[in-house]
Amino acid sequence: MSLWIGPMRVHLNGHKELTSHNEIVTVKPKGEVFIPLNVSMNHRAEVLVKEGDTVVVGTKLGIGPEPFAIPIYSPVSGVVGKVIQMMHPWLKPTDHLVIKDDGKYTFARSFDPIDIETADRETLVAMMKEAGLMGCGGAGFPTFMKYKNPQGIETLIINAVECEPYITADYRTMKEFLDDLVYGTRAMLKASTAKNAIIAIKKNKHELCTKLQALLVNTPEIKIFMTPDVYPMGWERTLVYEYSKKRYDRLPSEVGFIVNNATTAVSFAQALRQGKPIGEKIVTISGDGVKHPVNVRVPFGTKVSEIIEAIGGYSAEDVHIIAGGPMMGKTITTDQFVITSYANAITVLKAQKIDPLPCMRCGRCNDTCPACLLPVRINNAEEAKDLNLIEKLRADQCIECGLCSYICPSKIDVTEGVRRAKRALQLRKK
């Protein structure tokens, strides 16, 4: 097959060694945290507290509208302040609720712990919703929605591939909370109605695999699945295909899979065991634009500028600051934005000026596209504003993984062209 349509994936230099083994640094916010009030691109949560209210870690601050009725919990204890507008990592100015941190981190249970041996499926799914779980792979999709109505699910895939370069947050979270990972996986397995679960890990993570293997001795329904070190191995489609050689149209559930991120499983376990929603996050701050790349432990809502200052600052005057990894993460033009509950990394790269050459039609983008599209043809069609051709070329299938731009020897922003084509197609449909 790859003879015909190309490999559909590429090995990238991960630079993971920058942050995979050094110590996790705990960073506390400087007095204030800012809680983003959006629960999806277009849905804003309703605030349940008033200015001046005293809150503790775990106080419910707000709740999203249906169908994204996810609660937002306070990551710190302190006093509620104003609602202000700030830049959000989704590149959209968004309302943020300010909380003055008293530095005590007093904790009160948001909900009661649940024992997964006795709880039924519905209770577990309700817990997912109640705990405010949003996919920690970067997209921030509410987790419970995948489990609401599972039909014909065979296998649960816990995605610990972490294929974006620089990011080691999942890896470090798993290492830290290996027991929670297994517990969370078992809970998700029960909630999903699947027969078995796999934890997908890149095959170069020997140490973690050995430890995990030892923990899984008594759980034959959970297995480790080793994947090659390629990008985008962590994309659902690529992962499902690698495991089952099956392809699907829209959602993995069509072919019997539910895919969830490993950190999500850990968070779920902590909610179940301790009655604790996500408050602290392990986030990778890496790239050649920071002096000391490292994983930090921070309450979500902490400003990125404060974190970077705390770990030693920038290494250059002109940088790209990226919410997420360098492939899919969005570049933000300020460091005045916060870590969200579903963030996993901030990548800071020295700004480089790229001079693109004319396209020489080499077709390397076609050969590597993991969605098996023809990016160069989509770009041509976009330039010609030929919407019918764009539709025929299935620009709607693009996930903006960035491989076409990455691979382009002429350094053209191919992905951006496909993105424009995709948007033009969406506008026409409206």
- Contacting residues toward another protein, per CB under 8 A: 1, 3-6, 10, 12, 165, 247, 314, 317-322, 326-335, 347, 349, 351, 354, 357-363, 366-367, 371-374, 376-377, 389, 392-394, 397, 400, 402-403, 405-411, 413, 415-416, 419
For the bound state, the minimum distance from the C-beta of residue 385 to another protein, rounded and expressed in Å, comes to: 16
- Specify burial of residue 386 (Cβ count, 10 A radius: 0-12, 13-18, 19+): middle
Nearest to 157 by CA among 254, 236, 258, 228: 258
Structure tokens at 245: 């050689």
Task: Determine contact, residues 342/279, Cβ cutoff 8 Å.
Answer: no
For the bound state, the minimum distance from the C-beta of residue 89 to another protein, rounded and expressed in Å, comes to: 12
Residue 420, number of CB atoms within 10 A of its CB:
17
For the bound state, the minimum distance from the C-beta of residue 331 to another protein, rounded and expressed in Å, comes to: 5
Let me know the angle formed at the C-alpha of 27 by 110 and 165, rounded to the nearest 5 degrees: 100
Q: What amino acid is encoded at 109 in this protein?
A: R
For the bound state, the minimum distance from the C-beta of residue 245 to another protein, rounded and expressed in Å, comes to: 13
For the bound state, the minimum distance from the C-beta of residue 20 to another protein, rounded and expressed in Å, comes to: 18
Cβ closest to another protein, residue 60 vs residue 420: 420
Cβ closest to another protein, residue 188 vs residue 230: 230
Residue 118, number of CB atoms within 10 A of its CB:
7
For the bound state, the minimum distance from the C-beta of residue 303 to another protein, rounded and expressed in Å, comes to: 14
Nearest to 319 by CA among 288, 353, 289, 286: 289
- Distance separating alpha carbons of residues 19 and 292, to the nearest angstrom: 9
Cβ closest to another protein, residue 119 vs residue 407: 407
Nearest to 68 by CA among 37, 90, 27: 37
For the bound state, the minimum distance from the C-beta of residue 409 to another protein, rounded and expressed in Å, comes to: 4
Cβ closest to another protein, residue 173 vs residue 347: 347
Cβ closest to another protein, residue 11 vs residue 21: 11
Cβ closest to another protein, residue 19 vs residue 270: 19
- Distance separating alpha carbons of residues 38 and 161, to the nearest angstrom: 27
Q: DSSP code of 277?
A: -
Cβ closest to another protein, residue 125 vs residue 373: 373
